[in-house]
Amino acid sequence: MRRMTGNQLIKRYSAGDRDFTGANLHGASLQAIDLNGAILRWANLSAANLYGADLSGAKLDGADLSETDLRRADLSAAILDNANLTGAQVSREQLAHAASLQDAIIPDKLAPTDAEQDLAGVHLAGANLSGQDLTRADLTGADLRGANLRRVKLDGGDLKGADLQEADLREADLERAQLEGANLGWVNLGSANLREADLQAANLRGADLFLADLRQANLRMASLRRADLRGADLRGANLRKVNLRGADLRMEANLQDADLRGASLGSARLESANLCEADLREVNFGGARLDRADLSGADLRGAKVSPRQLAQARSLRDVIMPDGTTKD
User: For the segment 230-281, what is each residue's pLDDT rounded down to a tens digit?
Assistant: 999 999 999 999 999 999 999 999 999 999 999 999 999 999 999 999 999 9
d(CA 213, CA 34): 34
Count of domains for the chain:
1
User: 117 pLDDT band (50/70/90 cuts)?
Assistant: low
The whole-angstrom separation of Cα 67 and Cα 85 is 7
Q: What is the mean pLDDT of residues 295-317?
A: 96
Residue 54 within a domain: yes
CB atoms within 10 A of CB 163: 21
Residues 6+ apart with CB under 8 A from 61: 41, 42, 79, 80, 81, 82, 83, 100
Taking alpha carbons only, the member of 232, 178, 231, 187 closest to residue 205 is 187
Contact 184, 202 (CB under 8 A): yes
- Strands annotated E in the chain: none
Tell me whether residue 221 is in a domain: no
* Structural domain includes residue 88: yes
What range defines the domain where residue 59 resides?
1-115
Domain presence at residue 96: yes
Residue 217: how many CA atoms within 13 Å on its side-chain side? 30
What CATH code is carried by the domain that includes residue 54?
2.160.20.80
Considering the domain boundaries, does residue 155 fall inside one?
no
Does 192 fall in a domain?
A: no
Tell me, yes or no, whether 4 lies in a domain. Answer: yes
Q: What is the pLDDT of residues 118-177, one digit of tens each?
A: 677 877 788 778 888 888 888 999 889 998 999 999 999 999 999 999 999 999 999 999
The number of residues in the chain equals 328
The answer as to whether 226 is a domain residue is no
